């Protein structure tokens, strides 16, 4: 079924493949579950560097697998193509060195593509008869592409309106040096479109952009995207039950599109945030934001200030420091930056071959990443009210992570107590995004780099005046200061029932939605990557998009099938959900008094992050409870 040709080179490639996915593949091929007992004691975590399967056992597994591949090539079949839930759970638990609860099995089977996705099969045999029903999707980034693919497959007509000249959203816009995914790439991909050819474990933006372009073409959605056109407003017309979406092209021409449903897929990381520093307008040198970095910008030989040490800052800093005359890092808070051995590694040809050619290997590899980079971390976010342990942590488990993370920083900055004192974050791990180290600490040790923590007083024509009075003279300021994430859907003028604006409901920075997707008063509108959906502990935006698309598609198909002109979230359901969100959040690290971040709005409420594990959100969005909605027949 899977393997058509075998060669000596392929046999040798087995040597370079990871032993745990190989073992799980072998178990599925042979049905020999006793292998679990053999490997279990040697797996201490989901990462390839946390396995110590003895050489003789690993050699025996590879040799048996080699024979199995020959058997398959001769037309044999796997013994356990779809293992029973208890067996698959035992395999999952062994594969990551800890117990995987039963509740994960259905979601993981779907994520591993070991079962077809029930709600939206890749090519449905009988698309719905959508008639004149039409959807407008705002944005052709990850979420908009996911939505468009599923609508295309379901046979629902749609138009995507994209302000950029290309697809990709954040992966199109962000071009700063070092821009790369900081989620393992074989997990940061659509589950329905696995890519076994990622060049790196954490690919650069170009590879991800290529991937999104390939998805756009493969699923034939490019023709349905209007590029270079920005949605300026969307107003719900109660008489026709339709959204009237006004778009403006690059020449300033406006057109109005009517839509039965509106999907806002603009995301949270859409509008860059540049701090309003006093004196900035009078600065003599160059300024730029990481998200608006243009090709050709080069700070070689210049004196550069880098403001911000989040995900973007930590990626760009080492790249600037390599060529700049000097780099002054202006840090407001340190980041928990962890060892990530694969961060710069290319995926070897052997592994690429294994992902492609060995049945089930890619699924098990994805599962390991899914677990290690997502819910396996969630309990470390929970505040233990009884915890009176070391300061800077919120529970015994959180302290365990802190100790490990601290040890890494101490090792990296050994002999530099000056840097160590500044670099160690003063808040618990996971309070802000934990970052994979792309060379940040070795950058800090460079002679041409300084780490400034005194705070910025103002910008002057020659540079940045710090709060302690020193002037940092620079030729350029790079802002890696993030996005206006809480100001969701801004600057679009979105008006629902009765002409009420979304800003009237949400204010400037207090967005709420049911499941992060639907908002009372805004019928037939679906938000992707909306309020309280950001994943703060790990996970992948692609996973999130798939959950939200599945839910939205179920709503749209019901509207079409039932002939509903309107579908609007009930206020009581929305309010109860948001109370639950806030209650849950109050138990998690992001609300801890020691943590200040863009997750919080001006009133201290967390508006961006979800308090759920991935498995919870997957379950909540898997099926629509239509009693949560008011519906109106056409």
CB of 319 to ligand NAP, least distance (A): 13
Q: Which is nearer to ligand NAP, 396 or 467 (CB)?
A: 467
Structure tokens at 627: 């009693």
- Minimal distance in Å, beta carbon 181 to ligand NAP? 5
- Spatial neighbors of 75 by CB under 8 A, at least 6 apart, are none
Q: Measured from the CB atom, is 202 or 243 closer to ligand NAP? A: 202
Q: How far is the CB of 590 from ligand NAP (least distance, A)?
A: 12
Q: Which is nearer to ligand NAP, 83 or 272 (CB)?
A: 272
- Structure-token match 């801004």, residue found: 490
State the sign of the Cα–Cα–Cα–Cα dihedral 401, 406, 407, 412: positive
For residue 50, the SS3 value is: helix
Least distance from ligand NAP to the Cβ atom of residue 482, Å: 3
Q: How far is the CB of 584 from ligand NAP (least distance, A)?
A: 20
**Are 481 and 275 spatial neighbours (Cβ–Cβ below 8 Å)?**
yes
**DSSP class of residue 382?**
B
Closest CA to 566 of 259, 193, 267: 259
Order of all β-strands in the sheet with 493-495: 254-259, 242-249, 229-237, 493-495
Kindly state the smallest distance separating residue 599's Cβ from ligand NAP, in Å: 9
Tell me the CA distances in angstroms from 19 to 16, 63, 210, 376, one per residue in order: 9, 12, 30, 21
Report the residue number, 53 or 528, with the smaller CB distance to ligand NAP. 528
**Shortest spacing between CB 232 and ligand NAP, in angstroms:** 25
CA distance 243 to 215: 28
CA distance linking residue 353 with residue 182, whole number of Å: 23
Q: What share of the chain is helix, strand, coil (3-state, %, to 5)?
A: 40, 15, 45
| Position with the least CB separation from ligand NAP | 310
Interatomic CA distance for residues 581 and 610, integer angstroms:
7
| 217 versus 282: smaller Cβ distance to ligand NAP | 282
Closest CA to 215 of 169, 178, 180: 169
Provide the minimum distance between the beta carbon of 423 and ligand NAP in the complex, in angstroms, as a whole number: 12
Q: Which is closer to ligand NAP, CB of 68 or CB of 452?
A: 452
What's the closest the beta carbon of residue 163 comes to ligand NAP, in angstroms? Answer: 19
Helix ranges (H only) for 413-496 are 417-423, 440-444
Strand extents, DSSP E, 139-283: 158-161, 225-226, 229-237, 242-249, 254-259, 261-264
Residue number with CB closer to ligand NAP (153 or 312): 312
Tell me how far, at minimum, the Cβ of 174 lies from ligand NAP, in Å: 7
Q: How far is the CB of 510 from ligand NAP (least distance, A)?
A: 18
**Nearer to ligand NAP among residue 312 and residue 557 (C-beta):** 312
CA proximity to 91, closest of 29, 20, 30, 42: 20
Please identify, using beta-carbon distances, which residue of 359 and 531 lies nearer to ligand NAP. Answer: 531
Is the Cβ of residue 23 or residue 312 nearer to ligand NAP in the bound state? 312
Exposure string over 399-430, b if 16+ CB within 10 A, otherwise e: bebbeebbebbeebbeeeeebbebbbbebbbb
Residue placing its CB nearer to ligand NAP in the complex, 312 or 533: 312
From the CB of 167, what's the least distance to ligand NAP, in Å? Answer: 17
CA–CA distance, 514 with 211 (Å, rounded to integer) = 31
Full 3-state SS string of 69-111: HHHHHCCCCCCCCCCCHHHHHHHHHHHHCCCCCHHHHHHHHHH
| CB of 553 vs ligand NAP, minimal distance in Å | 25
Residues that bind ligand NAP (CB under 6 A): 180-183, 269, 275, 290, 307-313, 332-333, 432-433, 456, 480-483, 597-598
Q: Which CB atom, from 281 or from 633, has the smaller least distance to ligand NAP?
A: 281
The residue (of 171 and 629) whose beta carbon lies closer to ligand NAP is 171
Q: How far apart are CA 574 and CA 577, in angstroms?
A: 5
Distance CA 143, CA 607 (A): 19
Measured CA to CA, the distance from residue 143 to residue 619 in angstroms comes to: 19
């Amino acid at each position: 079924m899977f393997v058509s040709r075998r060669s000596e080179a392929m046999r040798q490639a087995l040597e370079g493949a990871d032993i745990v996915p190989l073992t799980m593949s072998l178990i599925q091929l042979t049905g020999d579950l006793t292998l679990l007992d053999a490997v279990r004691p040697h797996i201490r975590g989901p990462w390839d560097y946390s396995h110590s399967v003895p050489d003789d056992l690993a050699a025996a597994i590879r040799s048996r697998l080699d024979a199995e591949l020959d058997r398959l090539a001769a037309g044999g079949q796997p013994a356990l193509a779809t293992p029973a839930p208890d067996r698959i759970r035992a395999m999952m638990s062994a594969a990551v060195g800890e117990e995987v609860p039963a509740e994960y099995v259905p979601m993981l089977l779907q994520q591993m593509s070991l079962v077809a996705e029930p709600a939206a099969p890749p090519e449905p045999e009988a698309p719905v008869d959508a008639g004149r029903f039409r959807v407008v999707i705002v944005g052709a980034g990850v979420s908009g592409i996911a939505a468009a693919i599923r609508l295309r497959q379901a046979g629902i007509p749609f138009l995507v309106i994209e302000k950029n000249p290309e697809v990709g959203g954040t992966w199109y816009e962000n071009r700063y040096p070092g821009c790369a995914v900081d989620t393992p790439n074989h997990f940061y991909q659509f589950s329905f479109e696995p890519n076994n050819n990622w060049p790196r474990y954490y690919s650069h933006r170009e590879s991800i952009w290529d991937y999104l372009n390939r998805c756009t073409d493969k699923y034939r959605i490019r023709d349905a995207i209007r590029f270079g056109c920005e949605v300026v407003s969307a107003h719900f017309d109660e008489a026709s039950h339709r959204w009237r979406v006004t778009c403006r092209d690059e020449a300033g021409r406006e057109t109005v599109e009517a839509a039965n449903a509106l999907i806002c897929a603009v995301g949270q990381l859409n509008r860059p945030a540049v701090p309003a520093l006093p004196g900035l307008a009078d600065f003599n040198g160059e300024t730029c934001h990481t998200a608006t970095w243009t090709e050709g910008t080069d700070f070689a030989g210049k004196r550069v200030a880098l403001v911000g040490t989040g995900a973007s800052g930590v990626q760009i800093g080492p790249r600037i420091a390599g060529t700049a005359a000097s780099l002054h890092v202006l840090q407001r808070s340190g980041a928990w930056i962890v060892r990530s051995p694969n961060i710069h590694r290319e995926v070897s040809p052997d592994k690429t071959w294994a992902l492609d050619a060995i049945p089930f290997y890619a699924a098990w590899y994805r599962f390991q990443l899914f677990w290690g980079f997502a819910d396996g971390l969630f309990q470390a976010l929970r505040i233990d009210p009884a915890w009176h342990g070391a300061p800077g942590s919120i529970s015994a488990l959180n302290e365990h992570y802190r100790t490990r993370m601290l040890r890494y920083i101490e090792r990296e900055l050994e002999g530099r107590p000056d840097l160590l004192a500044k670099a160690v974050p003063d808040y618990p791990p996971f309070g802000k995004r934990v970052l994979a180290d792309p060379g940040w600490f070795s950058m800090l040790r460079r002679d041409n780099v300084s780490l400034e923590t005194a705070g910025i007083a103002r910008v002057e024509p020659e540079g940045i005046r710090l709060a302690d009075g020193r002037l940092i003279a620079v030729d350029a300021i790079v802002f890696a200061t993030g996005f206006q994430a809480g100001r969701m859907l801004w600057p679009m003028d979105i008006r629902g029932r009765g002409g009420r604006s979304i800003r009237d409901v949400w204010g400037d920075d207090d967005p709420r939605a049911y499941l992060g997707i639907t908002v009372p008063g805004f019928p037939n509108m679906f938000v992707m990557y909306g309020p309280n959906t950001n994943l703060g502990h790990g996970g992948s935006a692609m996973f999130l998009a798939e959950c939200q698309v599945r839910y939205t598609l179920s709503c749209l198909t019901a509207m079409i099938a039932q002939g509903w002109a309107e579908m609007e979230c009930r206020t009581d359901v929305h309010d109860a959900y948001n109370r639950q969100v806030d209650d849950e959040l109050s138990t998690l690290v992001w609300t801890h008094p020691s943590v200040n971040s863009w997750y919080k709005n001006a009133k201290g409420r967390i508006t961006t992050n979800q308090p759920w594990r991935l498995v919870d959100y997957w379950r909540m969005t898997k099926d629509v409870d239509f009693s949560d909605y008011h519906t109106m027949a056409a």
